[in-house]
Structure 1
Amino acid sequence: MNWPMVKLKDCCQVVGGATPKRNIASYWDGDIPWITPKDVSNLDEPYIYEAPEYISSAGYKAAATYMLPAGTVLLTSRAPIGNVAIAGIELCTNQGFKSLIPGQNVHSKYLYHCIKKFVPQLELLGNGATFKEVSKRVVEDFEIPLPPLEEQKRIAAILDKADGVRQKREQAIKLADDFLRATFLEMFGDPVGNPKGWKKNKIKKGVLDITSGWSAIG
């Protein structure tokens, strides 16, 4: 389908964040959830529902950060570029985000999947000597395909199922690896420490031949 390409600034509100001064105690330990890029770096699902740190109303006002509604797509814009999550609660962020508040014609889950797909292109648009960062203007001008809202919901549901299958497959592979490792150790013990006292021999005494690799010619 040839859906229109739309700039993010024309379908979302792009919002940055900020950090209250750490040396002012009254700015911290309040009731406003506040997150950093590391808080969305290893999520098991798209949504983030809690924050490891909270700021106070005074800290919120002093830092001039922005309160993001639930459903906002959180995009890390530096260190690294491209971690993506969805705010499951109202929260605010530090300056390491360019967050996307979807317009009425944008489905949060579709936007989430769409941004994840385009992360490599966003990374190429990053600038900076010490570490790469994408600016607010770059994010605002970035274009995504925007089908009708119902089609967005359908696409998001399909991609959710695909993600679920992928996660289950990864879990199954990990369980199989863990089982094989545990079985080996139970049968033979740790090959380094050799707690079972197995007799050691050189490899050449247990194999018929040892060969090197080769390259085809022509």
Structure 2
Amino acid sequence: MSKLEDLIAELCPNGVPFKPLAELGKFFGGITGKSKDDFTNGNAAFITYKNVYSNPALNINPDDTVKITEEEKQRTLEYGDVIFTGSSETPDECGISSVVTKKPEKPLYLNSFCFFFRFNDLNIIEPDFAKHLFRSTKLRYQIGKTASGVTRFNVSKKLMEKVVIPVPPLPVQREIVRILDNFTELTARKKQYEYYRDSLLTFGDEVPRVTLEKLFNIRNGYTPSKANNEYWENGTVPWFRMEDIRDNGRILSDAIQNVSDKAIKGRAFAANSFIVATSATIGEHALITRDFLANQRFTVLTVKNEYAKSLNIKYFYYYCFILDEWCKDNLTVGHFASVDMGRFKKFEVPLPPLEEQARIVAILDKFDVLTTDISFGLPAEIEARQKQYEYYRDRLLTFKELS
């Protein structure tokens, strides 16, 4: 840390200025006036919600496209722009940032569920510094306070203008970037594992495909009335929410919260069904191994009898990772993000012979330990490294304010 300490002692010994975003630039929205058809066979690069949420440094070479005509006057993203997700199920997940850290070689159009901030002067903040700064604990706390809502939280751009950031000298910013970037190498290894998994699940035209609506009975989850105490007392039926996946993983038999038999509409969802998040926190899934209920954020997939002997349940569990990514890229155009259910039902699942499905499952079961077991392998290493990164990030991004 000596070089950084020397730079601070030389360039900002008495502290650094703190400025509200309103003094440093302006906020802009994503593209508007688009229909579902505009996202099929588009002619321009499109930045999805998932791209923003998943990448502190934006992927500026996406596969996603949108149709843009010559007459349209839509804003495009530029080097140094800081993008934010506009809404989420919880305030903690609102305003997640992604920064354009490289100069785009082609026009980039931002989805309507996000917005972006453009600095008036790029000589104030290094884009690579911004990618760490806006995900730091102190900034995330400020940004979280700009969101309001009940079941869904939305970020206020007016309140975002009041978010205050430190503005250290550029040499100090660059040295902090050099230190923090060294902590992110393990994430690349995890992406290699995910690439290998997806390669195993990619097939040629010789393998038949079956749509979700042919393969599964598709039902919606629901929340029993909170006003009826009988539904919530002495419960024995697990009722799954996103918290269950976050806390306990993707193969589940018990839920954090149970409901009574009286809460069931018709019949419970059958054991060995899948829950897929198709609204709010989109693109999460789990395999449930006993009869259950789930809340309205989930679509529930239960294998039809005619496919019970041709689909390995664990094979589809792994294929859901591909479905998850598809869901994040196929949202409806509206006030909040949700999956286009018409296209969801038409999503095609490759069905190789059962022997091939079993072979893939055997490989991925071993592989899964390395990629998902929190106490073993790469995840444990990443978790330890991530904690180190967060500690040093927050420490390095804590400045004395210039009086």
TM-score for both structures, normalised by structure 2: 0.41
Paired amino acid for 2:284: N
Cα shift at 1:173: 4.3
> 1:33-52 alignment to 2 at 5 Å?
33-44=238-249, 46-52=250-256
Aligned pairs, how many? 181
* Deviations, residues 33-74 of structure 1 (Å, cap 9, x unaligned): 111223223444x3112112122222223xx5x522221121
Picking from 26, 39, 55, the partner of 2:259 is: 55
Picking from 96, 115, 128, the partner of 2:320 is: 115
**Structure 1 residues 128, 177: closer, same or farther in 2, change over 3 A?**
closer
% identical equivalent positions: 27
Question: Aligned partners of 1:178, 1:32: CA distance in 2, in Å?
Answer: 36
Q: 1:146 corresponds to which residue?
A: 351
**Structure 1 residues 178, 14: closer, same or farther in 2, change over 3 A?**
closer
Q: Residue 85 of structure 1: SS of its match in structure 2?
A: strand
* Deviations, residues 9-48 of structure 1 (Å, cap 9, x unaligned): 112222211111111111212221111223223444x311
Q: 1:11 corresponds to which residue?
A: 215
Picking from 92, 95, 100, the partner of 2:293 is: 92
**Structure 1 residues 115, 32: closer, same or farther in 2, change over 3 A?**
same
Question: Aligned partners of 1:110, 1:151: CA distance in 2, in Å?
Answer: 10
Picking from 264, 278, 284, the partner of 1:83 is: 284
Question: Aligned partners of 1:128, 1:28: CA distance in 2, in Å?
Answer: 35
Q: 1:216 corresponds to which residue?
A: none
1:170 aligns with 2:379: yes
Paired amino acid for 2:213: K
Cα shift at 1:131: 2.3
Q: Are the aligned partners of 1:16 and 1:136 in contact in 2 as well (CA < 8 Å)?
A: no
Cα shift at 1:178: 7.0
Cα shift at 1:137: 3.5
Paired amino acid for 2:381: A
Paired amino acid for 1:99: V
Q: Are the aligned partners of 1:8 and 1:139 in contact in 2 as well (CA < 8 Å)?
A: yes
Picking from 206, 226, 229, the partner of 1:22 is: 226
Question: Aligned partners of 1:133, 1:9: CA distance in 2, in Å?
Answer: 18
Paired amino acid for 1:89: R
Paired amino acid for 2:299: K
Q: Residue 13 of structure 1: SS of its match in structure 2?
A: strand
Cα shift at 1:175: 4.5
Q: Are the aligned partners of 1:14 and 1:136 in contact in 2 as well (CA < 8 Å)?
A: no
Question: Aligned partners of 2:213, 2:295: CA distance in 1, in Å?
Answer: 20
> 1:177-196 alignment to 2 at 5 Å?
none
* Deviations, residues 198-218 of structure 1 (Å, cap 9, x unaligned): xxxxxxxxxxxxxxxxxxxxx
Question: Aligned partners of 1:127, 1:178: CA distance in 2, in Å?
Answer: 36
Paired amino acid for 2:321: K
* Deviations, residues 154-185 of structure 1 (Å, cap 9, x unaligned): 11221222221234112134457779xxxxxx
Question: Aligned partners of 2:257, 2:352: CA distance in 1, in Å?
Answer: 37
**Structure 1 residues 22, 149: closer, same or farther in 2, change over 3 A?**
same
**Structure 1 residues 176, 78: closer, same or farther in 2, change over 3 A?**
closer
Q: Are the aligned partners of 1:98 and 1:136 in contact in 2 as well (CA < 8 Å)?
A: no
Paired amino acid for 1:27: Y
Q: Are the aligned partners of 1:5 and 1:145 in contact in 2 as well (CA < 8 Å)?
A: yes
Question: Aligned partners of 1:143, 1:12: CA distance in 2, in Å?
Answer: 12
Question: Aligned partners of 2:382, 2:283: CA distance in 1, in Å?
Answer: 26
Question: Aligned partners of 2:222, 2:280: CA distance in 1, in Å?
Answer: 15
Q: Are the aligned partners of 1:72 and 1:99 in contact in 2 as well (CA < 8 Å)?
A: yes
Q: Are the aligned partners of 1:48 and 1:85 in contact in 2 as well (CA < 8 Å)?
A: yes
Question: Aligned partners of 2:385, 2:319: CA distance in 1, in Å?
Answer: 32
**Structure 1 residues 28, 154: closer, same or farther in 2, change over 3 A?**
same
Decide which structure has the larger Cα Rg and report it: 1
Paired amino acid for 1:115: C
Cα shift at 1:119: 2.0
Q: 2:11 corresponds to which residue?
A: none
Moved more, 111-120 or 165-174: 165-174
TM-score for both structures, normalised by structure 1: 0.71
Question: Aligned partners of 2:281, 2:386: CA distance in 1, in Å?
Answer: 30
Q: Residue 284 of structure 2: SS of its match in structure 1?
A: strand
Q: Residue 321 of structure 2: SS of its match in structure 1?
A: helix
